[in-house]
Amino acid sequence: MSRQSAIVLGAGMVGVASALHLVRRGWSVVLVDRREPGRETSYGNAGIIQSEAVRPYAMPRDLDSFVRIATGRANEVRYRLMSLPHHVGPLLRYWWHSAPARHRRITLAYAAIIAHATSEHDVLIRDADAGALVRHDGYRLLHRDRAALDEAVAIAEANRREFGVQFRVLTGRELAKAEPILKDDLPGAIHWLDPWTVSDPGGLVAAYANLFCRLGGTLLRGDAQALTQTSSGWTLATEAGRIDAEAAVVALGPWSPDLLRRFGYGFPLVRKRGYHRHYRGGRTLDLPLVDPTFGYAMAPMADSLRITSGAELTSPEAAPTPVQLTRAEAVARELLDLGTAVETTPWCGTRPCTPDMLPVIGRATRHRGLWLNFGHGHQGFTLGPATGRLLSELMSGEAPAVDPSPYRPDRF
């Protein structure tokens, strides 16, 4: 019997992991990207495999948060007035899905798939021989006032009771002992113990892509926008010539809806842009530290400290305005000596967030052999191997390890 064949579009964490799972199941797979693997969103993130993130980010619905965001005082979220018409439909749906009862159902679906995040990465990390990039010591969430810390601890305790995620509460002194470069007069932190952290997120995707090639997969350069349906499946012109396959997988992260629009699908996306910049020559942290008061993260990378910013709601073509990153840098400098910025222009990329905060995984409704895996929002680096497995199980007709119904594409 001939092998089933697939073209996987997009070599970010999600596409590479999907391609790997298909190859392992005996598929003949060509993975196509216009760049090297792991050079876009899956490169620019904070590198945290966030197995503790059982509750996806809901849109704040309280008046205080609304006023802070509307008046530009919130650093975790910023919007550009000019781009609001672009966002208004997806944002209204995001607001609707963020109501407590709906968010509760979404959390159960999210927690079900994120429970597989580290175990699925583990298999790939071992097989890709990428263990040197990964630490298993968790990360810390700093709180700058007592009330915020108490509130965060209460939520963490609820998550521990219901989902089994593990954490420790650190006093300011314990935090300063763990990270001696920090001041010791901070109220404290939550140390999430289960997450893993990666010192080169793009490097991990590249290592997975190498594994894919070692297992017999083919990696090619090409433009996904050239994808065309044929009588027997799908075809694409690549730099190495035309390729044909029975199935096509769209794993183009924030670019996925652009391609799917050509086939008549209107997937809504809340595009949350994030920025990062590296710092060298100062002090660095032992583990990543997230400072939710100002909506940024500091992540020690291989040769520098990376600061990642919160969410900017802006249109895809808008010029960079790294206001949040500039503010984050200023408050981070109050905590530690960052040294000097490496890049003059910060990196930016888009978290591909769906209005109901869940990824889109499964078969496209109106095209035979067209499969989707995108919309991983704030945790695609975490989720790629788990959702890649789920997609490949569905494509191969296997009983999936996780109930796929909350992620099905026809909900939009």
For residue 374, state whether it binds ligand FAD (rule: CB under 6 A).
yes
Stretch that binds ligand FAD, among 140-148, 326-334, 337-345, 379-387 (CB under 6 A): 379-387
For ligand FAD, the closer CB: 48 or 402: 48
For ligand FAD, the closer CB: 118 or 172: 118
In whole angstroms, the minimum distance from the beta carbon of 242 to ligand FAD comes to 15
Instruction: State which of residues 247, 252, 338, 386 lies at the interface with ligand FAD (CB under 6 A).
Output: 252
For residue 354, state whether it binds ligand FAD (rule: CB under 6 A).
no
For residue 57, state whether it binds ligand FAD (rule: CB under 6 A).
no
For residue 48, state whether it binds ligand FAD (rule: CB under 6 A).
yes
For ligand FAD, the closer CB: 152 or 172: 152
Long-range residue pairs from 111-115, CB within 8 A, at least 24 positions apart, any chain: 111/54, 111/55, 111/163, 112/402, 112/403, 112/406, 113/359, 113/383, 113/386, 113/387, 113/390, 113/402, 113/407, 114/50, 114/51, 114/53, 114/54, 114/379, 114/382, 114/383, 114/386, 115/51, 115/163
For ligand FAD, the closer CB: 146 or 262: 262
Binders of ligand FAD among residues 145 to 174 (CB under 6 A) are none
Instruction: State which of residues 6, 7, 11, 249 lies at the interface with ligand FAD (CB under 6 A).
Output: 11
Instruction: State which of residues 4, 5, 45, 98 lies at the interface with ligand FAD (CB under 6 A).
Output: 45
Residue 347: Cβ within 10 Å count: 18
Instruction: State which of residues 6, 8, 14, 285 lies at the interface with ligand FAD (CB under 6 A).
Output: 14
In whole angstroms, the minimum distance from the beta carbon of 46 to ligand FAD comes to 3
For residue 50, state whether it binds ligand FAD (rule: CB under 6 A).
yes
3-state secondary structure the chain: CCCCEEEEECCCHHHHHHHHHHHHCCCEEEEEECCCCCCCHHHHCCCEECCCCCCCCCCCCCHHHHHHHHCCCCCCEEECHHHHHHHHHHHHHHHHHCCHHHHHHHHHHHHHHHCCHHHHHHHHHHHCCCHHHEECCCEEEEECCHHHHHHHHHHHHHHHHHHCCCEEEEEHHHHHHHCCCCCCCCCEEEEECCCEEECCHHHHHHHHHHHHHHCCCEEEEECHHHCEECCCCEEEEECCEEEEECEEEECCHHHHHHHHHHCCCCCCCEEEEEEEEEEEECCCCCCCEEECCCCEEEEECCCCEEEECCEEECCCCCCCCCHHHHHHHHHHHHHCCCEEECCCCCEEEEEEECCCCCCEEEECCCCCCEEEEECEHHHHHHHHHHHHHHHHHHHCCCCCCCCCHHHCHHHC
Instruction: State which of residues 140, 271, 376, 389 lies at the interface with ligand FAD (CB under 6 A).
Output: 376
For ligand FAD, the closer CB: 4 or 379: 379
For ligand FAD, the closer CB: 308 or 392: 308
Instruction: State which of residues 380, 385, 388, 409 lies at the interface with ligand FAD (CB under 6 A).
Output: 380
Stretch that binds ligand FAD, among 39-47, 77-85, 172-180, 186-194 (CB under 6 A): 39-47
Instruction: State which of residues 268, 349, 362, 404 lies at the interface with ligand FAD (CB under 6 A).
Output: 349
Contact mark string toward ligand FAD, 286..315, x via CB under 6 A: ----------------------x-------
In whole angstroms, the minimum distance from the beta carbon of 37 to ligand FAD comes to 7
For residue 111, state whether it binds ligand FAD (rule: CB under 6 A).
no
In whole angstroms, the minimum distance from the beta carbon of 412 to ligand FAD comes to 17
**CB contact at 8 A, 61 and 95:** yes
For residue 12, state whether it binds ligand FAD (rule: CB under 6 A).
yes
**CB contact at 8 A, 87 and 59:** no
For ligand FAD, the closer CB: 279 or 381: 381
For residue 381, state whether it binds ligand FAD (rule: CB under 6 A).
yes
Instruction: State which of residues 6, 27, 30, 44 lies at the interface with ligand FAD (CB under 6 A).
Output: 44
For ligand FAD, the closer CB: 172 or 349: 349
Binders of ligand FAD among residues 207 to 226 (CB under 6 A) are 223-225
**Distance of alpha carbon 382 from alpha carbon 119, whole angstroms:** 11
**Distance of alpha carbon 239 from alpha carbon 220, whole angstroms:** 7
Contact positions vs ligand FAD (CB under 6 A): 10-15, 33-35, 39-42, 44-48, 50, 223-225, 251-255, 274, 276, 308, 349, 351-352, 374, 376-382
